[in-house]
Each structure stands twice: as structure tokens, then as C-alpha cells.
Amino acid sequence: MKQGIIFDLDGVLLSTDEMHFAAWKSIADELGIPFGRTENNLLRGVSRMASLEIILGLGHMTLSEEEKQTLAERKNGRYVAFLQSLTPDVVTQEVRDTLTELHARGRKIAVGSSSKNAKLILRLTDLLKYFDAVSDGTNITRSKPDPEVFVKGAAFLGLAPDACAVVEDAVAGIDAANAGGFMSIGIGDAASYEKADAKITHIEELLNLI
């Protein structure tokens, strides 16, 4: 029995994928780099700067650190503007019921997200109240597949990695969980990843696993 569950945010508890895609596509368009759904999938689960590096690599472009920082901030500004349209309605009742039941069973729960906007998203969607801890892009220096965000999330809960499960929809997130010594649970795209310790189709299935 795992004492703690750490959830990736985007793609697991809710989805802002379209907002990320629109913001990154606008940057790629400015640079003249072709960017569609296939290219966007390469950015799943990785940090903002790592995502920008992937896009620049697609266009075989080299920019200065200052130029890259400017582009990353521009992308984030557009994404945050899109986020303002989020409401609690984007979170399903299934997600809320599952989080409530996990607490009722005495589990500690945290968010483990590479996003620096995680707390804003949690506030806008009225999810923050469900979590005992949030580990996000503001407290890490290495993005997934490095396990840092989950290791810190477990520490915030006062638990060791092997006492926790991680729920992830991205391959990089499953790799990060495995590297950190966590039980890895794949959902969404990661439900077909062979390295996931367990796989679920709906979040409520967690209640049969944990």
C-alpha cells in the first residue's frame, strides 16, 4: 500500500494542451519553423526551456541565451493569458471524487509538475485545496525525465519515494518516476508505455490499485 500519490497536473487532472500548443505554435511561426501536432507531442512533460530547445532543434536554429529567454517569456505570457479562461468546470467530477476518496483513505497527495504555472492553474480550477503539497517548476532545476520534481514532492509529503506512486500521462514522466524509485502509473498516452508499473484508463481506477 502506498502512503502517498503524486500527480502530474496537465493531462492527468485536467488539460491545457491546446493552450500550450497555441502558444508554442505562435512562437514557432514567428521563427519560421514548421510546428504541428506531431512536433507538439515532443514537448510533453518537459520544461519550458527544454521545449524551446526542441523547437529550435527542429528548425536547426542557434540563438543566444538572451534571445532564448525572451522567446520563453513571450511564450509563457501568451500561455498565461490563455489560462485566465480556466474555470473549475474543466476538472471532471471523477477527478474531484477520486482525490476526496484518497484523502478519506488517509493517503497524502501532491502535484508533481514541471510547470511554473502549476499553482496558478490549481487556484483557477479550485484544485489547490485537495493537495497536501505542490512540487513544480519553481522549486526544481532539472525537468523530467530527471526525477527531481517527484523526489521533492515526496519530501514535501514527508515520505520516501518507495512509499509513493506517481500518476503520469507522459513517457518522460514515467521515466522520471522509475528513475526516482517510485511506483509509476500510466494514464492517457503513458497507459501504453511498457515501462509503466501499472496502467489505468480512468483516474478512478487508482482506487483499486492504491
Question: Coil, strand or helix: which one is 157?
Answer: helix
Dihedral angle computed from the Cα positions of residues 155, 157, 158 and 162, in that order, rounded to the nearest 10 degrees = -70
pLDDT recorded at residue 17: 84
Instruction: List residues bridging with 133 in a β-sheet.
Output: 110
Q: Which three cell numbers stand for residue 85?
A: 479562461
Torsion over CA: 73, 78, 84, 88 (sign) = negative
HSE of 205 in the Cβ direction (CA atoms, 13 Å)? Answer: 13
The span from the CA of 157 to the CA of 141, in Å, is 19
Q: Would the pLDDT of 90 be above 80?
A: yes
Annotated active-site positions, please?
A: 8, 10
pLDDT recorded at residue 24: 97
Amino acid at 13: L
pLDDT digits (tens, 9 = 90+) for 159-176: 999 999 999 999 999 999
Residue environment code for 162-189, b if the CB has 16+ CB neighbours within 10 A, otherwise e: ebbbbbbbbbbbbbbbbbbebbbbbbbb
List the one residue out of 100, 114, 133, 126 whose CA is nearest residue 8: 114
pLDDT recorded at residue 65: 95
Inter-CA distances, 129 with 120, 123, 132, Å = 13, 9, 8
The fold of the 4-14+87-209 domain, in CATH, is Rossmann fold (3.40.50)
Rounded percentage of the chain residues whose pLDDT exceeds 70: 100
Q: Which three cell numbers stand for residue 119?
A: 499553482
Q: Would the pLDDT of 80 be above 80?
A: yes
CATH number of 17-83: 1.10.150.240
Provide the CA 147 distance to its chain's centre, in angstroms: 12
pLDDT digits (tens, 9 = 90+) for 108-154: 999 999 888 999 999 999 999 999 999 999 999 998 899 999 999 99
pLDDT recorded at residue 41: 87
Inter-CA distances, 27 with 66, 68, 73, 77, 122, Å = 16, 11, 11, 11, 26
Mean pLDDT on 14-28:
93
pLDDT recorded at residue 1: 81
Q: How confident is the model at residue 210 (pLDDT cuts 50, 70, 90)?
A: confident
Q: Where are the domains of the chain?
A: 4-14+87-209, 17-83
CA angle 132, 175, 196 (to 5 degrees): 85
Q: Burial level of 110, CB count in 10 A (0-12/13-18/19+)?
A: buried
Q: Would the pLDDT of 188 be above 90?
A: yes
Mean pLDDT on 32-61:
92
Q: Would the pLDDT of 45 be above 80?
A: no
